[in-house]
Amino acid sequence: MREKEPTFHIETEHVEKNYPGRSVLKDINLSIKKGEFVAIVGKSGCGKSTLLRLLAGLEMPSKGQLTMDQRPLAELNSEARMMFQDGRLLPWKKVIDNVSLGLTKEGKDRAKKALQLVGLEDRMTDWPAKLSGGQKQRVALARALVHEPSLLLLDEPLGALDALTRLEMQALIEDLWQQKKFTAILVTHDVEEAVAIADRVIVIENGYISLNQSIDLPRPRQRTSTPFSMYLDQILDRIMGRTQQRKITLLRSYPNTTKV
Amino acid sequence: MKFSTKGVSEKLIPWLVPIMLLVGWQLFSVLGIIPSRILPAPTQVFQAAIDLSATGELMNHVSISLGRALIGFLIGGIIGFAFGLFNGIFRFAELFFDTSIQMLRNIPHLALIPLVILWFGIDETSKIFLVALGVMFPVYINTYHGIKSVDKGLIEMGKAYGLKGKALFFHVILPGAMSSILVGVRFSLGVMWLTLIVAETISAHSGIGYMAMNAREFMQMDVIVLAIVLYALFGKLSDVIAKLFERKLLRWNGT
Ligand SMILES: Nc1ncnc2c1ncn2[C@@H]1O[C@H](COP(=O)(O)OP(=O)(O)O)[C@@H](O)[C@H]1O
Ligand SMILES: [Mg+2]
């Protein structure tokens, strides 16, 4: 029998996305393995959320194709669940009803289990307005996980949290990812966060992927270690447009890399 | 203990001024400072209420007025709500109807009274028509704007979680628009009473407004004041009911 080719969970081929009068994504080529944790960073407005919306099937690309398990994505991606920066809990539904949104009646039990995963089973019957920012994001995480998605899309989910809560949430997300083995794509503007939890960091710039960097560090990662800060420097250099080669040359630029 | 006394006094304090006014009014009437030709004493008004109740006349007028208010409100409210929903949700409906409705809205509906009397006479239809017309626009505007201003992020979230059609409407869009819709309902309740008062006063042969106009011919001051008090009470009552609905439907943001 022929050796099975390493198949990718998600692939984007020459994906472009234009809005009237504005070209946001120009040529996005990505291959993501099953169970991989990818972080996407880039300046505000560079199209990170747009890319996630394409992956969620909420919008279709203007050109190119996205595939999931080799199947082209033509409608809402039922295997993907998205978590948003502002949580987007429905304020008129209690926590438990937010988590079981879109589930049938028996979903209540699953919702309870999901809330246990994020440590909030005792807040089930509260209104979202009563929760802190971090708790709201935990509920949002539970709501995403209750569907057992094979792809979890995280759109700056921790951007609005204070530093300590953010560290806690990063650990929680990493932990659940290791338990549940879903593929995760995290958009963040915090490069340290990206290096701390992702297998690979992607930088989007001017509509192209300008850096695609594996992070070969054992978990849990020591944020103070030298290799960690070398990765950090290198990615920051890329984003800030400092082009000089730094200490490490681990990076392998991809063919479509643009130099600015 | 201290807490509960505070709760009670907070309930009572708003009533102090009305009670004092009432007592003062009674006092001045008894002393003859306010002649009863100008304003009858509260006790006289109360007596009028008892007398008219005894003959069944009061009940008759009140139930007729309430019936007109309710039917007119339901008809106008349902039409306004339906148009608000459709125009808020479907771009086509919005293009087709919104401009016309906004144009009609600018006509003061009470200006139509002469026309309405010619069309429907002074029977029930004319009153119900005017109330429905007056109620329709505030409900329409607030429903339409409520739907239009539902957080787009929540709608996107709903879609991302597989909601569409009916489910998206009932879980996301309608609750999101609810507070605005209720503002429209409350406002239109005020319009409802105002319209009814004017319509019944100008032309009717029954109802609270007719009772007042009829009393004017016989200089029955007490009955006239009674009619005004009744309108005030019903106005307050409908406001209380609307508030109850708000508290029930918007529990989530009252925390
Ligand atoms: N629905 C849309 N219509 C028009 N322009 C849009 C739309 N969505 C996003 N954009 C534009 O696309 C660009 C990228 O947006 P976004 O993906 O949200 O950026 P990011 O998440 O990286 O900050 C922005 O300039 C934004 O204004
Ligand atoms: Mg964004």
Please say if the pLDDT value at position A243 is more than 80: no
* pLDDT per position as a tens digit, B3-13: 556 778 888 88
Where along chain B do its domains lie? Answer: 44-253
Is ligand 1 within 6 A of the CB of residue A139?
A: no
Residue of A nearest to B177 (CA): A92
Ordered domains of chain A (ranges, CATH): 1-79+149-217 (3.40.50.300), 91-148 (no CATH)
**Rounded CA separation B195/B110 (Å):** 7
B49-63 confidence digits (pLDDT tens): 999 999 999 999 999
A148 CB within 8 Å of a chain B CB = no
Mean pLDDT (whole number) for A73-101: 94
Render pLDDT for B128-152 as a digit per residue (tens, 0 to 9). Answer: 999 999 999 999 999 999 999 999 9
The tens digit of pLDDT for each residue in A119-150 reads: 999 999 999 999 999 999 999 999 999 999 99
Q: Which two tokens stand for residue B213?
A: 């106009």
pLDDT at B4: 59
Q: CA nearest A85 in B: which residue? A: B153
Cα A19 to middle of ligand 1, angstroms:
8
pLDDT in tens, A12-36: 999 999 999 999 999 999 999 999 9
Banded pLDDT at A102 (limits 50, 70, 90): confident
The residue ranking higher by pLDDT, B122 or A140, is A140
What's the mean pLDDT in A216-222? 91
A23 lines ligand 1 (CB under 6 A): no
Chain B residue with Cα closest to A153: B160
Q: Residue A178 region, left (φ>0) first, then alpha (ψ -120 to 50), else beta? A: alpha
Q: What separation in angstroms does the CA of B18 have from each of B22, B48, B64, B237?
A: 6, 21, 29, 16
Supply φ then ψ for residue A238, to 5 degrees: -60, -45
- From the list B153, B157, B141, B151, the residue with the least C-alpha distance to B175 is B151
The per-residue pLDDT of chain B, averaged, comes to 91
Q: Is the CB of residue B252 less than 8 Å from the CB of residue B246? A: no
What is the predicted pLDDT for the residue at A250? 44
Cβ of residue B171 closer than 8 Å to a chain A Cβ: yes
CA of A42, closest atom in ligand 1: 22
What's the pLDDT band for A79 if we cut at 50, 70, 90? very high
Pocket test for ligand 1, best of A50, A54, A83 (most atoms within 8 A of CB): A50
Q: What is the CATH number of domain B44-253?
A: 1.10.3720.10
Confidence category of residue B203, pLDDT binned at 50, 70, 90: confident
CA dihedral B45, B50, B52, B55 (to 10 degrees): -170
Residues of chain A in contact with residue B255, where contact means CB-CB under 8 angstroms, are: 127, 129-130
Tell me what ipTM this predicted complex has: 0.85
B126 and B120 in contact (C-beta within 8 Å)?
yes
pLDDT, position A254? 41
**B172–A90 CB contact, under 8 Å:** yes
- Kindly report the pTM of this predicted structure: 0.85
How does the average pLDDT of chain A come out, rounded? 89
